[in-house]
Every structure is written in C-alpha cells, then in structure tokens.
Structure 1
Amino acid sequence: MNETILYKYLSGTATEKEKEEILDWIKDSQENQIAFFEMKAVWNSKHIYNNEKHDVIHSLDQLNRRIDQIAGWKRMYTRRFIKKLGIVATAAIVLLAISFSFLFTHKKANIQAPIYVYKNDANDNSIKTIFLADGTTVWLGSNTTLTCPTTFDGDTREIQLEGEAFFEVSKDPEHPFIVKTENNLIKVLGTSFSVHSRPVDNICETILMSGSVLLSEKNGKEIATLQPGQQALYSKETKSVEINEVDANTLTSWRFGLISLSEVSISEILQCLENTYNIHIKMDTHLLKDRKYNFSFKYSKEPKEALNQLSYITGMSAEIIP
C-alpha cells in the first residue's frame, strides 16, 4: 500500500477511489488490518496529546513493545510511517483500545478487530510466552489455547482460555481485564494470577499472586473476591467454590519451567516425577514415608538429574526402572 494514500486518508483528503483502495487493502489480510489500525492510532494520538499528556507518556512504552513484536518488514514500515507523521518520541503513542470499525462517506464498512488464537499444543511441559496488545504478558502452559482480539476495543478487555495460563495484566482501571473459561469469569483491573481450566473434572483453579480478582459464574453471578495468596477451586457441577491459603509463588512457578512441590510426601514427589518424565522409579521409601519435603526441579533437566537431586535431599538412592 502506498504510504501517501494512507496519509491522505488519515488526514481526510483521500479521494473516493483512494478510499476504495484502502478498504480493499485492509480486507486483503489480517496483517494489513493490524498495520492500518496501528497507524490510525498513532495519527489519532496527535490530537489528544495536549490534553492527555500523562496518558501519552504512559502509552509510549506500550507502543514500542507492540512495534517490536511486529515482523521485521512491518516494524520498519510502521516506524517509517510514524516518522513521516512528524510525531516526536514522547507523542508517538498508540491508543491500544481504539475502535475497529469506521465509516467511509460513501458506504459503511464495519471492520471487527481481528481475532487471534494462541496455542501451546506441546504436551512436554514447555511454556509459551505471549504479549497482548494492551501490554499484558501471558505464560501458556501445555495443551492450552488462548483466544483474543489483536487489539482490545470497547469497555472491557476480554479473552477466552482453555487450559492453564499465568497473567501479568497491564493496569487500566477504565477497561477491566476478563478471562472467560468454560466454567466461569475472572475479572481484574491490574494484577498477576494464574488460571487453570480443567474440563475433565469441571474444575477451574484461580491463584492470585498480587492485586485482586473477582470470580463470577458465566451468567454474571458473583462467586468470590480473591486476595493475594489465595486459591479458588470452582466446581461447575456443584456451583461451589473452595478458597484456600496457598504459597502462590510455588504453585505458579511452572511458568519459569519449574515444578515446585511444598510440604509433600516422598510418594507424592515420586508420582510427580514419574508423570512428568513418563518413567517408573525404584526407591526404598519405607524410612521416609512420614516425612515432608519441599522439592523443585526444572522440566528441562534429564530424569537422572532430578533423581540425583532427590537422592541428595533424602539420603536414599533412586533409579529408573527399565
């Protein structure tokens, strides 16, 4: 797409033919849609800078982060366009929650925010880190799918989750962040927490690290408000919630590639290792059965390394059964 035509459209001087060309280009691909709305947001930022300087400066970091996620050619294209608009660094922002519909003077063109599906299909405990358009960071656990718009529009920031994820939500009190699962809704303003939706047993687990979250049923009925260090286990079948005080750091350390077990028996450790590595372990646990342990290990370690670590803290040898 010719940058001059984009510039003319945003400045309101494009001809009808050029508007048609812009519309066709936007419809051509999702990449084009994302690029256009980013450029439109940057253009709009010029007109609010004088009245909302604080928001401008706050949003600059989000713009830079968003641009850095764009593929090489697109990143260069976007930055070149920003330079052409003549916006100085402190004013070069993007309104991440802009509207994704607009009206040409000759006809309506209702363009929805493109929907993107992030998947971590691996079943080997690998972690996938993604960055959403509002600056929120998400760690996806194994066999997890997250569906969200490429840019948030409207009064809320809504995403759909199947599986397990940890969120560090960008603060925006005017636009609450809502996680939809099969069982319930989790509403936050700016906080860090994990969600594990387990359809097999109809349980949704929420663990709060910082801030606060409001749990609701899908019909909007409020269930509970969590405080840091609390775990909520919501049952879809009984529509009940169990609140527990937990070590949130330990239970959410999986996002760093760690399995952390706190105050567990030796049999629980062995079961976890066997399930993680799909192995069978031989170990004399008779003298250890009444003891409790704290045990952490990295997924990336070889099974033998994890067993050597276990042998060191227990004083008992452990080996893999062929």
Structure 2
Amino acid sequence: MESNNSILIKYLSQPLSADERDELLKWRALSSENQTLFSEASKLHLLNEYKNRNTVAETTLALSRIQRKIHRNKTRYSLRNIIKYAAVIVLTVGLSLFAWERLSAEKYTTIVVAENESVKKVHLADGTSIWLSESSELRIPKSFSADNRKVLIKGKAFFDVHKNPESPFLVSSSFLNVKVTGTSFDLFVDEDKKQVETILVSGKIILQDTDGKDVYGMSPGERVSYDSETNQFTIKTVDANTLTAWHLDQITFENATLREIVNKLSLIYDVNINLESKRLAERRYRYVINREETLKEVLDILSYLAPIKYRIEDNEVFIAE
C-alpha cells in the first residue's frame, strides 16, 4: 500500500484503477482521521470549479483549509505529508481554494434515500418538485442565489422544474451538468460506472460539461447517455413517459410482450410465473402496474386485457389461455 496520503491525492486528481480503489478504501479504514479527511476532500467532487484551478500552490492552500477544519473538530493530521505528496504528483490535484471556500460558504440540506427505500418526493421553495429513487442523494442550498438555482445529485431523480427564465435551474453532478429553465426530465448519475443518463419528457434542457460549457441541447423524447471515461455521448429516441414512470411508483409497459410483463412481475413479487402458452407469450400489450397493488389484483387486471386464466399455488403462478 502506498504510504501516507498519496492515494488520496491520486483519487482527487485522476481516475483510479480497481486495485487503487481497493487501496483507497483500505487507507480510509485505517483511522478515523483518514475517514474524516476523505469525507471532507471528496465533497469537492460535487463542484466544477476545482478542475479549473490546478496549481500546486492552490492545491496546498485548499488542503490546508480542509486540514484546519478537521483540527477544529479535534482531529490531528500531518499536513506536511499532504503537501509533500501533492508536490510530487505530476498531474496535480486541481483542488482549488476557490472551490473549497465556495463549498464552505454555502449551507446545504442533504436528502438521502436509502437502498430499498420507497421513492421520496421533495418540494423546493421555488415551486420545483423532485422525486428521488432509492440509493440516491440530493443536496439543496438553504437558499438559491439571485442568478441561478443549483442543486447537486447522486443516483436517480426525476425533476419537474418551475419555470423562471431569469434564474436557470442547474443540476450539478460529478461528470455532467444540466441547465434548465422550466422542464420535466429524468437524471441518473451512476458514480460507480461514471456514467450519466438523461431523459427529457417536456421542455428543453442543455447538457454542460463540468466546466459549465454547453455540450448538447436535448429535445423531448430523447435519451442521452454519457460515459465520462470515454467521453462518449449516445443519443436515442425513446418513450419518455414510460421510462420515467418509476417516479409515480408505477411501472408502465408500452407494446411489451406478455413474457416481458410476467418476467417483471416475477421480480416485483418474488414469485415464479409459468407462462404455459408460447403463442400467448408473444402477444403485446400496454399495461401499467401500481406498486401498491397485490399480485392478485395485478393478475385480475391483466386477465381483462389478455385472454388468460391464472392460478396461484404458494410461490408459483401458472398462466394459460
């Protein structure tokens, strides 16, 4: 394992390999001081400005500011080692004092939806509504600035943004930003894979790089997938309403085969569904599932749409014509 803080410096300055990510986790677990320093430093990934001011001097000042904050919380860390390793890395951290000061000055409320937790709806003071999926995190400032409304997101969220041309709504992530005036759209930021997927339902949004430069203006019905490691965009026309129905706690099937529908039901209700007719399996339907409905209620509704009969035996469901 690399000594002292060099793996933290690498983490802040460049993508890590799988082995280096394991090393970082081991380093973080060595002490409470390491955990605190990592937590404070990693917050800067949520800001864009730190990538623009990447001199060793500014890196040193920014890390010094972090160190003083930790010391105020009665922890101890060797700033000398941080500065030493920052100086020898050819690609400097790019951790700007400006970015840290901005993060420190702004007061945020953080909303976290745990794994397996139901969808959480958040109402903002400006009239915007946001639905958060499980394993997602939203950071909202205590108050918006006069010229923009900026939030930060990890995970999956659906946005219904209140229109205000004089104050654009900005969604910031580690890899891509979204500029909005008044729009509804779906955004999924996958921190592990370093990918972002955006689906526009209505209005217009502009995708921006982490420097705030416009990259692509989306139109309704488009899905844009972005891979930050390859810097590649993939654009596809999709049924936006169907793909974003999750925020209503619904699952919508549009022109789906009965096989596709029952496979999804198997996962939702943790049962084994046996579809006993191959011809029936290939028939296509439009079908909406409300998650609060029981399996029997769902199958009853399905039996009105399709020429099926079903029976439930313990954890097995049998469907026939």
TM-score, length of structure 2 as denominator length: 0.59
Partner of 2:158: 166
**Which of 259, 264, 271 is the equivalent residue of 1:272?**
264
User: 1:267, CA displacement in angstroms?
Assistant: 2.6
Offset from partner CA, 1:247-297 (integer Å, 9 cap, x none): 222222222221111122223212222222333222224113433221211
1:140 is displaced (CA, Å) by 1.4
* Distance (whole Å) between structure 2 residues aligned to residue 131 and residue 251 of structure 1: 22
The answer to whether 1:281 aligns with 2:273 is: yes
- CA gap of 1:202–1:277, structure 2 versus 1, over 3 A, is farther
Residues 222-301 of structure 1 correspond to what in structure 2 (within 5 A)?
222-301=214-293
Structure 2 CA distance, aligned partners of 1:202 and 1:316?
43
Q: Tell me the SS of whatever aligns to 1:304.
A: helix
Q: Is the 8 A contact 1:205 1:233 kept in 2?
A: yes
1:305 matched to which residue of 2? 297
Alpha-carbon RMSD across the aligned residues, in angstroms, is 2.3
Tell me, yes or no, if structure 1 residue 321 matches structure 2 residue 313. no
Which whole-Å CA distance do the structure 2 matches of 1:131 and 1:227 have between them?
25
SS in 2 for 1:165: strand
Q: For the Cα contact (< 8 Å) 1:223–1:241, is it kept in 2?
A: no
Q: 1:265 to 1:217 in 2, by over 3 A?
A: farther
Q: Helix, strand or coil: the match of 2:207?
A: strand
Gaps of 5+ in 1: 1-110
3-state DSSP class of the match of 1:271? helix
* 1:133 corresponds to 2:130: no
Q: CA deviation at 1:314?
A: 2.6
1:127 deviates by 2.1
In structure 2, which of residues 109, 115, 119 is the aligned counterpart of residue 116 of structure 1? 109
Correspondence list, 1:101-112, <5 A: 112=105
8 Å Cα contact 1:209/1:228 also seen in 2: yes
1:214 — aligned with what?
Answer: 206
Partner of 2:116: helix, strand, or coil? coil
Contact 2:197 2:226 in 1 (8 A): yes
Identity %: 33
Distance in 1 between residues matched to 2:173 and 2:186, nearest whole Å: 12
C-alpha distance in structure 1 between counterparts of 2:198 and 2:303, whole Å: 33
- Tell me the SS of whatever aligns to 2:130: strand
Residues 1:321 and 1:253: Cα distance change in structure 2 (over 3 Å)? same
Q: Which amino acid aligns with 1:186?
A: V
Q: 1:218 to 1:273 in 2, by over 3 A?
A: farther
2:259 is paired with a residue of what secondary structure?
Answer: helix
Asked whether the equivalents of residues 275 and 281 of structure 2 are also in contact (C-alpha less than 8 Å), the reply is no
- 1:89-100 aligned at under 5 Å gives the runs none
SS in structure 2 of the partner of residue 293 of structure 1: strand
Taking structure 1 as the reference length, what is the TM-score of the superposition?
Answer: 0.59
Could you tell me how far 1:173 is from its partner in structure 2?
Answer: 1.9
* Cα distance in 2, alignment partners of residues 252 and 236 from structure 1: 23
The residue matched to 1:163 in structure 2 has which SS? strand
- Classify 1:140/1:306 alpha carbon distance in 2 versus 1 (closer, same or farther; 3 Å): same
Structure 1 residues 119 and 293: CA distance shift in structure 2, 3 A: same
Do the aligned partners of residues 232 and 285 (structure 1) sit closer, same or farther apart at CA in structure 2, a change above 3 Å counting?
A: farther
- Matched AA of 2:237: E
Q: 1:197 to 1:274 in 2, by over 3 A?
A: farther
Secondary structure in 1 matching 2:165: coil
Deviations 1:172-230 (A, max 9, x none): 22222111233311111121111122345443221112211011232334332111222
Does the residue aligned with 2:162 lie in a helix, a strand or coil?
coil
- CA drift at 1:149: 0.6
The letter for the 2-side match of 1:120 is V
- Decide whether the 8 Å contact of 2:108 with 2:141 is kept in 1: yes
CA offsets 1:51-94 (integer angstroms, 9 cap, x no match): xxxxxxxxxxxxxxxxxxxxxxxxxxxxxxxxxxxxxxxxxxxx
Q: Deviations over 1:287-315 (max 9, x none)?
A: 13433221211011112222333333232
CA contact (8 A) 2:259 2:275 kept: no
